[in-house]
Structure 1
């Protein structure tokens, strides 16, 4: 058998040929040039087995955990092992049992959360609040160097606040987030642009601006001399917008003002976006970045308001897409955080959902769809006698639909359903036969069963 793969791969259009085809590596469909490469992984991602084989797995589904009073979960954070969220102009604590507790009013608009020695620090809108769990009280500290707050972050026992629409940042007294001395501030003036948010990583404070980033460190001095910019710590990459950044273990994931997705760590900016991802950033409305993990994979999601999310798998260095609903619409989430030992997402309708291998999005089906590269037959028309796939079998029943395109993904045949076998049926072959004639072939597999169905990236085609 000849093995073949790659976008636009050419095969001999000879009857009796049998080919093993690599269906798809990662999502590669460029929305303004679909014909170049129609390949997609939607709600599916690739991983390698211990034997080195590539298999395709379902993404984690969403299991409703709690419903907060209000819409738009603006931020989520974890302080002293407890999970907090800003939603509907209020701060909430979310228990592992799903019980939400209203901790008090904050403000509406963009938000961020950090801790400081047990206190919960919240930026909401352009205001700053501190919640004290010991006394169950919410306070709004008196302004220090400025009063319009753009973000909050914990760094070296200080609470750092950035100026909304400005270049200054200030910090609290040591371990006292409610005290903002008027002289505890500095100006991020390495470049002529405004601050968007602060993030602490690898022992340094990253100040993300509109067109640049500055890296500062704790000098060890007290008060107004506590923060110093690193020598050479000004970089020519900023944030596209304040919410297009998230932290993960080992660094941060951002969308830069250059419309590229980057990994940030150790003062280095590593572009990881592909041309299709950058086309999506250009043509659609990027809304947020968030991170979660599962079974050794760290997933970094770029959320769009009007299109499926693009998700970078740090373990595989590959992209897939995360969608919601039968029509594969946008993934309506805006923040992520751990609740206990599980990852949760805050949704635009005020719901908080746990990410689990449920193979469903709550009461809605989790639609998984794989679109292959296009296989070309050297200009000759070939009879497509068999198309065989290799799913994981015998553990749960399920049905897959096959669609065929003979024009590079522009149009598709109606679905051809095929059972993958019943529970306990391990030797069942999944073969579609008599698929007509074609000069080019693109295959699409789609399934919605709430079952853990994975399959090899390889398929067999007989002509």
Structure 2
């Protein structure tokens, strides 16, 4: 019989036996013939090494890529070189442009880099001293107050000038501001337990911004970095631990119970986005677990891990460099995402764990298990493990050759796998080869 091995990652961290299904470093897509196939995620190629550690933020301004790392602002060139533009501060950071200027919040300080004069300055404070985030909104630079509810805006087209009266208070709900975010022609102020929408009134100075009527929602951010921009809106993890798409004033929940369990039990740190061949991936990065990534094209989740042990994906920010997507890593490295089937010098381990396949309630002999990878283009092996107890324990891996270049008709079959009333299959491969396979397998009992 033909069975579909897995749809999307569904393993609940606190109830693995309920559904052990996982896609790790693999995602599904539909072919033009209507078949579902599994593809490898993009690997990482080292592009530049910045001074210090912990890339805190990345952004493009005027077609150039900037990053905050090691308490400095950097410009990253397409040829892999980088330029130290000056010291800012350590701690959480955000970057925004304003008509060529590069505006940086680092720690609780605010800086402006002018590429015309190649100078980095710290403007005099306006309505408040401690800055929590920076954003560009209709020719204004918006600053939020760290640990407070005030937000301020610069002079029009001049982020170096912060008038003391250009401020307001996000007081729709009784909670503090975390992040300003511009989209849909509005300024969204994400707070600890709520969100407010503001608009440009067209007036000048202190009357430039006003809150949209009814523009208050009872959903905030889980933490200040749990938000990322994608074309069409924002991706957030809300204060309730759920993942949402935010656009046009609406919050669309997209998380599954396993994702929400992960945000509750594990340590989410940030959100980031990237795209590949028509797929936009919205990722929740964890300090102590693989990332959960939502495929906007397929409306499905998979996991992104790093290393042989499938540990956390050690990235903190993403941005385009030229026409390619790049990530900023915790070791200060900037890596380009490419179809390398490797993470730098480390293997890109791809692992599929099936949903539970039940044998009609009777003990059956599993005589054959066959998978259907793309063949004749790359060599390598795939290992199979079997679990008969819902993923609690696994058999030793049994490797099978995929078949080298030109071997288009080679079958990949495991035989005489024992008896089971229900089983889970785990497939794993590590070779730096582009292996694509059907989501279906053939089972003979």
**Is the structural similarity TM-score above 0.5?**
yes
Counterpart-to-counterpart distance in 2, 1:358 and 1:279: 32
Counterpart-to-counterpart distance in 1, 2:125 and 2:132: 13
Aligned residue in 1 for 2:132: 150
Counterpart-to-counterpart distance in 1, 2:241 and 2:165: 36
Match of 1:145, SS state, is coil
CA deviation profile, 1:25-73 (whole Å, cap 9, x unmatched): 0000001111111000000000000111100000000001011110000
Counterpart-to-counterpart distance in 1, 2:170 and 2:363: 64
Aligned residue in 1 for 2:419: 437
Aligned residue in 1 for 2:13: 31
Counterpart-to-counterpart distance in 1, 2:435 and 2:406: 14
Moved over 6 A (4+): none
Alignment of 1:1-20 (within 5 A): 19-20=1-2
The answer to whether structure 1 residue 315 and structure 2 residue 297 are counterparts is: yes
Match of 1:276, SS state, is helix
Aligned residue in 2 for 1:42: 24
Aligned residue in 2 for 1:57: 39
Aligned residue in 2 for 1:134: 116
Aligned residue in 1 for 2:64: 82
Counterpart-to-counterpart distance in 1, 2:380 and 2:234: 38
Aligned residue in 1 for 2:360: 378
Match of 2:180, SS state, is strand
Alignment of 1:271-420 (within 5 A): 271-420=253-402
Q: CA RMSD in A?
A: 0.6
Alignment of 1:240-251 (within 5 A): 240-251=222-233
Counterpart-to-counterpart distance in 1, 2:275 and 2:210: 34
Aligned residue in 2 for 1:424: 406
Match of 2:382, SS state, is strand
Match of 2:258, SS state, is helix
Aligned residue in 2 for 1:8: none
Of 216, 233, 244, the match for 1:234: 216
**How far 1:273 sits from its partner (Å)?**
0.4
Match of 2:262, SS state, is helix
**How far 1:379 sits from its partner (Å)?**
3.0
Counterpart-to-counterpart distance in 2, 1:336 and 1:437: 47
Match of 2:7, SS state, is coil
Decide which moves more: 378-387 or 247-256.
378-387
**How far 1:378 sits from its partner (Å)?**
2.9
CA deviation profile, 1:402-432 (whole Å, cap 9, x unmatched): 0011111111110100011010111111111
Counterpart-to-counterpart distance in 1, 2:362 and 2:175: 58
Aligned residue in 2 for 1:15: none
Match of 2:206, SS state, is helix
Counterpart-to-counterpart distance in 1, 2:423 and 2:288: 30
CA deviation profile, 1:203-260 (whole Å, cap 9, x unmatched): 1100000000000011111111110110100000000100000111000000111010
Match of 1:282, SS state, is helix
Of 89, 92, 100, the match for 2:82: 100
The answer to whether structure 1 residue 458 and structure 2 residue 440 are counterparts is: yes
CA deviation profile, 1:137-188 (whole Å, cap 9, x unmatched): 0100000101100000000000000000110100000000000000101110
Match of 2:3, SS state, is strand
User: Gaps spanning 5+ residues in structure 2: where?
Assistant: none
**How far 1:383 sits from its partner (Å)?**
1.1
Counterpart-to-counterpart distance in 1, 2:153 and 2:244: 27
Decide which moves more: 246-255 or 375-384.
375-384
Aligned residue in 2 for 1:261: 243
Counterpart-to-counterpart distance in 2, 1:171 and 1:252: 22
Instruction: Return the TM-score normalized by structure 1.
Output: 0.96
Match of 2:229, SS state, is strand
- Aligned residue-pair number: 445
The answer to whether structure 1 residue 193 and structure 2 residue 189 are counterparts is: no
